[in-house]
Amino acid sequence: MTLMLEELQHIARIEKERQEGFQHRIRVCVAAGCLSCQSGVLKEALEKEVSRRGMENWVDVKGVGCLGLCTAGPLVAIEPEGTLYQGVKVSDIGPIIEALGGSPVVDLQCSTDLAFFSKQHKIVLENCGKIDPERIEDYIAERGYEALYNALRGMTPKEVIDEISKGGLRGRGGAGYPTGLKWTTVSKAVSDTKYVICNADEGDPGAFMDRSVLESDPHRVLEGMAIAAYAVGANHGFIYVRAEYPLAVKRLRTAIAHAERMGVLGNNIFNTRFQFDIKVRLGAGAFVCGEETALISSIEGRLGKPRPRPPYPAESGLWGFPTLINNVETFANIAPIIRNGGAWFAGIGTEKSKGTKVFALAGRVNHTGLIEVPMGTILREIVFDIGGGIPGAGKFKAVQTGGPSGGCIPEQYLDMPVDYESLAEVGSIMGSGGMIVMDQSSCMVDVARFFMEFCMSESCGKCVPCRVGTTQLYNLLNNITRGSAVPADLATIEELCDLVKNTALCGLGQTAPNPVLSTLHYFKDEYLAHIEDKYCPANTCKMKTATFHCDRAQDG
Amino acid sequence: MIQASGEATQSTEKFAQMAQDRRWRMVNRTIRLNGNQPDALIETLHAVQDSFGFLDLEAMEYVAHQLRVPLSRVYAVATFYHYFALKPPGEHTCVVCLGTACYIGGSSAILESIHEHAGIHPGETTEDGKVSLLIARCLGSCGLAPAAVFDGEVAGKLNPAAVVEKIRRWTSHDSDA
């Protein structure tokens, strides 16, 4: 079956009419955060109550993706009133239904005037919390797959790439490589077979953006991949997603099945000669598989170990064929760029970092959740306006970005813009978008040790600098937190960091010293307090002299 | 030579017999869906773990045989990836998240109190086989830190006392009955 624009618009119209047929639409957040607050049960109870009261013809209950403010879950939004309820329990259902059309239930109301909502700019998350991720019609009603149609029917592959280049989109996986450039390289590679891979192996602890996009708006990623495949001349796609995200996997599989049935994936898409299929491949809990060559190796059913580059996957990737690998958020940006034009996208953000960035805001901050802000937003605005500041009597200490590859940004840089270059200047990285706020109760040495422990156990063991270097660094840091370090250890740490950074094979090892270097740079006094005074300023480290664990760590 | 081929027939028979099991049929379905390709090794191991809860040597031999890959490669993959368990899980599992947000939210204190109460470290199962303790790198529920998964259900904003209480109910409830 081939689908044409008229049919696409017809589906969208029917869906819009269906939705507008309801006087009230109750949207229950069923993304991971709210689901763990039992929003699934809540949604079922709401549906039951609505039909018990015989209101099902004018009240629609639907499960939607992330509404953003995870800390206040389960969240329920009422349309068209625009009311948002927080912390809703099954016992609140009665009052909520009775309040439809009247004044809202004040006790449950969450103000939508919060800076958390008003300071955001949504492109990637525009449909999150709006559409039912398990219905393709809902996505089409929001102009879904229109960009794919326009690309296939009205643009040459080169024009598509030019539009992306004009938009200035850079890879959202962390390194910020220009997407247009990557696509050009793959499109120029000569081969009958090419692949497009979506990297959804979001392994950074403290990052859940990709997961929310996949759970809330999976079709957007599929559409982005299909446009990319057309632009570079690929016919097969893979989504490599963490097995730890069962809901995202389930929704992706549903979305792919619906897209195939609808004819937006498969053969002769939109009656052109373009064909494209997507398969889901599960990760199995190896952080290193976020590295592109390791990821390819894992899709091939092997150990997820990286290999030296070049050749880059763009020339020789999956099974030796040219392969385009982009991150979930990068693909999620494609359809809006094609729809609105590269110039529109380039108008958002800073000179070198265009568009928006999704961050997972967590840690010691009042409003934790998923946010999307224009590139170049001031860090202070993110933490104190959108994030609502530090809870209780806490005092801001640092914000950690980029996970185990990033660094800790101290208070004096709160007024810097958040973009690729500025973050790199202060010794951190954009990373995939985890942003963890810390207050005085977090010990920075302990945080560095935590990340080093992570890198140590996630090191694949292929290259010596990473395998041995991370272990040695961990032991040294462990000694500091246990009060058994000597002043000379700091110099050793710096030397080792330098060595690992410059000689490791892949990104995991090359960036593993970053958390240590940045905390050592900005919080050296804390290191010294541990070493010289055997005292932990944050009172988190248990300072002991020689213990069994300590001995074991030294031996290990 | 004769002996070797005899062994081969024996194991082929064994595998044919195993294939009758409903759980292995689920695994075979995955293998078939992936076109019997050795590339689908990780997918297949996922299917085995979904059916049996863990991977033992017999399972790895079966997968190696079905996909025609060396057993050494199956073993390498099964041990490389953290997600695969080589030991049977306990009756109940508790997965404590050790992501950054949960860590600074106090998940190490939760692990300590579990150790005090149940005597198990991450990766271990209580002696009576009732509770397994695992750690996760990040559940992606950072907004609810510290979080843990109890028998597949995510719970957030935890404290050591609440977690220990949950585990105590698992252990004592069954012994009371």
B148 and B97 in a common domain:
yes
B97 and B75 in a common domain:
no
pLDDT of residue A166: 97
CB A241 within 8 A of CB A200: yes
Write the CB contacts of A420 (distance below 8 Å, at least 6 apart in sequence): A170, A176, A352, A353, A375, A430
Residue A311 Cα distances to A181, A271, A464, angstroms: 16, 36, 22
CA nearest to B102 within chain A: A363
* Burial class, A502, CB count within 10 angstroms (exposed 0-12 / middle 13-18 / buried 19+): exposed
Q: Which residues of chain B neighbour A284 with C-beta distances below 8 Å?
A: 42, 45-46, 81-84
Nearest-CA distance B11 → chain A (Å): 24
Instruction: Kindly indicate the confidence band of residue B6, based on its pLDDT and cuts at 50, 70 and 90.
Output: low
Residue B86 placed within a domain = no
The CATH number of whichever domain residue B102 belongs to comes to 3.40.30.10
Mutation for B interface: A36, A299, A367, A442, most B CBs within 10 A: A36
Residue B115 placed within a domain = yes
Instruction: Kindly indicate the confidence band of residue B4, based on its pLDDT and cuts at 50, 70 and 90.
Output: low
Comparing CA positions, the residue from A515, A512, A524, A516 lying closest to residue A493 is A516
CB A230 within 8 A of CB A149: no
Whole-number average pLDDT of chain A? 92
B32 and B101 in a common domain:
no
Q: What ipTM goes with this model? A: 0.88
pLDDT score of A495 more than 90: yes
Calpha distance B16→A256 (Å, rounded): 34
Contact B43 A282 (CB under 8 A): yes
Nearest-CA distance B42 → chain A (Å): 6
For B100-117, what is each residue's pLDDT tens digit?
889 989 999 999 999 999
> What residues 200-219 of chain A have any CB closer than 8 A to a CB of chain B?
202-208, 211
Instruction: Domain count for chain B, please give it.
Output: 2
Contact B101 A202 (CB under 8 A): no
Across A431-459, average pLDDT: 93
Domain boundary among B54, B80, B106: B80
Which residues constitute the domain of residue B164? Answer: 92-171
B99 and B125 in a common domain:
yes
Mutation for B interface: A69, A86, A202, A208, most B CBs within 10 A: A208
B68 and B116 in a common domain:
no
For A393-410, what is each residue's pLDDT tens digit?
999 999 999 989 999 999
Give the largest CA-CA distance in chain B: 64
Angle between helices A146-154 and A218-232 (to 10 degrees): 10
Contact B76 A281 (CB under 8 A): no
pLDDT score of A548 more than 50: no
Contact A368 B142 (CB under 8 A): yes
Domain boundary among B22, B54, B80: B80
pLDDT score of B176 more than 80: no
Highest mean pLDDT among A106-115, A427-436, A481-490: A481-490
B65 and B19 in a common domain:
yes
CB A24 within 8 A of CB A57: no
Instruction: Kindly indicate the confidence band of residue A5, based on its pLDDT and cuts at 50, 70 and 90.
Output: confident
Nearest-CA distance B122 → chain A (Å): 14
Residue B105 placed within a domain = yes
Least confident residue range of A63-77, A164-178, A515-529, B9-23: B9-23
Residue B37 placed within a domain = yes
B114 and B166 in a common domain:
yes
Whole-number average pLDDT of chain B? 88
- H-run or E-run covering A358: strand A356-363
Mutation for A interface: B37, B45, B138, B157, most A CBs within 10 A: B138
> What residues 67-126 of chain B have any CB closer than 8 A to a CB of chain A?
69, 73, 76-77, 80-84, 98-101, 103-105
pLDDT score of A47 more than 50: yes
> What ranges in A415-547 are assigned the alpha helix state H?
420-425, 444-458, 464-482, 488-503, 507-511, 514-522, 524-532
Residue B106 placed within a domain = yes
% residues pLDDT > 90 (chain A): 82
For A363-374, what is each residue's pLDDT tens digit?
999 999 899 999
B144 and B116 in a common domain:
yes
CB A237 within 8 A of CB B132: no
- Rg, Å, chain B Cα set: 20
Residue B161 placed within a domain = yes
B100 and B44 in a common domain:
no
* Beta pairing class for A277-282 and A236-241: parallel
Residue B87 placed within a domain = no
B55 and B16 in a common domain:
yes
Calpha distance A379→A119 (Å, rounded): 13
Which candidate from B82, B84, B100 shows the least CB-CB separation from A403?
B100
Least confident residue range of A333-337, A432-436, B12-16: B12-16
pLDDT of residue A380: 96
pLDDT score of B1 more than 50: no
Across A81-108, average pLDDT: 91
pLDDT of residue A174: 80
Residue B70 placed within a domain = yes
3-class state of residue B92 by DSSP: strand
Residue B13 Cα distances to A362, B8, B10, angstroms: 55, 9, 5
What one-letter code names the amino acid at A397?
A: K
Domain boundary among B21, B56, B80: B80
pLDDT score of A144 more than 70: yes
Residues, chain B: 177
B99 and B54 in a common domain:
no
Write the CB contacts of A209 (distance below 8 Å, at least 6 apart in sequence): A202, A328, A329, A358, A359, A360, A370, A432, A433, A434
B96 and B43 in a common domain:
no
- Rg, Å, chain A Cα set: 24
3-class state of residue A176 by DSSP: coil
Across B45-68, average pLDDT: 94
pLDDT of residue A525: 96
